[in-house]
Structure 1
Amino acid sequence: MSPLSIFRAPNTPFPSSSLPPLTPAALLKTWWVTTSTLPMWKSAKNIRITYTSIPSTKNIDDIIHYNPRSGPPATNSTPEEAAKLVTKSIHGVDYPLSENDGDLTYKWRGKGLLFIATSRWQVVGYGGRDVRTIVGEGGEEVLEGVEWVVTYFEKSLFTPAGVDVMTVAREGVDGETLGAIGEGLKGIGGVLGELWDGIFDIPRD
């Protein structure tokens, strides 16, 4: 297990650490939601979230793809099963709520028919390998080796408060690392510790 991890309480800064700060640039990829407390995911599997930068802004395009748990496997399916595979999506835009890039707190607003829906979310933990790379003309430092992040969602009109653990790897993190994430959130206490008691796995096939 990588010992490199950091956590914070919602709406507070990350504590001082030797771990390089996570930047919005490091979020711009596809993540697998492997564990969650959000009831909306209890009927879903193969949840992946892709974050993409929106040119000339600090906003992030946010699209979620998932399959119903009741459907056939997404891999190794027969042609008949594959024909029944349903992929659903949720599309929105994340607007940063702070000028500080390291704050990683956003307001999500849905696109299309979901335009009325909004929520607030933030990164409250991350971990992985400690690798620094200079990218871009501005010489921005990013943490390349991030293997997982924990996101916290405030209660909204449509969903209760909850947390997701997202990983770069489809297989997620090992049990020891997941246990350490739970200990980290319970160490923070408050709503994060309470929510972790309701964590469940998201199937990936």
Structure 2
Amino acid sequence: MPPLSIFRAPNTPFPPTSLLSLTPQALLKTWWVTTSTLPMWKSAKNIRITYTAIPSTKNIDDIIHYNPRSGPAGSTTDPEESAKLVTKSIHGVDYPLSENEGDLTYKWRGKGLLFIATSRWQVVGYGGRDVRAVTGEDGVEVLEGVEWVVTYFEKSLFTPAGVDVMTVAREGVDEQVLGEIGEGLKGIGGVLGELWGGIFDIPRD
């Protein structure tokens, strides 16, 4: 099966494919933010976002963990060094803005002291080398094998518009795939093409 790469312009439907559409269920895991255009991440490393379903709702619990870049390098073989890492978190809830599950457009609202902070985001691209539809234990079909997604954030009170590339693997995607993602976004044009010109890597220890 050839690799899958699918993109859309913000606030438009994904183009039709022969596969099942990406649904929120496929997002419910931990992702590594490996490249971004958002200035807030220029001082962060080891950014991982965990999405978890909130029972009896269509809302998603959204928690980000990261380390300041100014801190020591992490090490899985040196517990003392790893213990020195300062881990920060941003906790919020994603509220779907459409009844269509495949729309994947959300309003994020912070929790705790960040309750006043909100933003709108949506998935604008996704892909992988072996993406396929599988039936889960609950009988619901979901896409499996999605290795990366691109999320677009609209300008908010606190941040400019931007994009993140998130991957399942800590090491991210290789240069060829990242280049294909960039070409895909530039091919869409508009704000996505413009934003890609400011992309930068996020360090992972």
Please name the residue that 1:85 is paired with.
Answer: 85
Pick closer, same or farther for the CA change 1:149–1:79 going to 2, 3 Å. closer
Q: Distance in 1 between matches of 2:135 and 2:83?
A: 45
CA offsets 1:60-108 (integer angstroms, 9 cap, x no match) = 0000000000101121575553343100000000000000000000000
RMSD, aligned CA: 1.5
Question: Partners of 2:131 and 2:102 in 1: how far apart?
Answer: 17
- State the secondary structure of the residue aligned to 1:72: coil
Residues 186 and 194, structure 2, Cα contact 8 Å, conserved in 1 = yes
Number of residue equivalences: 204
The alpha carbon displacement at 1:134 in A equals 1.3
The CA deviation string for residues 113-135 of structure 1, in whole angstroms up to 9 with x for no partner, is 00000000000000012221112
User: 2 CA distance for matches of 1:136 and 1:5?
Assistant: 27
Q: Percent identity?
A: 85
Instruction: Normalising by structure 1, report the TM-score.
Output: 0.95
Q: How does 1:32-71 map to 2 (within 5 A)?
A: 32-71=32-71
- Name the counterpart of 1:134: 135
1:103 is aligned to 103
1:1-205, aligned counterparts within 5 Å? 3-76=3-76, 78=78, 81-128=81-128, 129-137=130-138, 139-205=139-205
Whole-angstrom distance in 2 between the partners of 1:18 and 1:180: 21
- What is the deviation of 1:57? 0.2
Q: 2:20 & 2:199 partners in 1: Cα distance?
A: 28
**CA positional deviation for 1:3:** 2.6
Alpha-carbon distance in 1 for matches of 2:22, 2:145: 10
> What is the DSSP-based 3-state SS (H/G/I as helix, E as strand, rest coil) of the residue aligned with 1:20?
coil
Looking at structure 1, the residues matched to 131 and 117 of structure 2 have their Cα atoms a distance apart, in angstroms, of 37
Q: 3-state SS of the aligned residue for 2:194?
A: helix
Structure 1, 76-85 or 37-46: larger mean CA deviation = 76-85
SS of the counterpart of 2:171? coil
* TM-score normalised per structure 2: 0.95
* Alpha carbons 1:29, 1:50 under 8 Å: kept: yes
Residues 116-169 of structure 1, C-alpha deviations (whole Å, 9 max, x = no match) = 0000000000001222111254x3221111000000000000000000000000
CA distance in 1 between partners of 2:101 and 2:76 (Å):
41
- C-alpha contact (below 8 Å) 1:20/1:130 kept by paired residues: no
- What 5-or-longer segments of structure 1 have no aligned partner? none
Distance change (3 Å), C-alpha of 1:57 and 1:79: closer
The offset of 1:59, in angstroms, is 0.2
Q: Secondary structure at the match of 2:3?
A: coil
Distance change (3 Å), C-alpha of 1:184 and 1:35: same
- Unmatched runs of 5 consecutive residues or more in structure 2: none
Where has structure 1 moved over 3 Å in runs of 4 or more?
76-83
Report the Cα offset of residue 202 of structure 1.
0.2
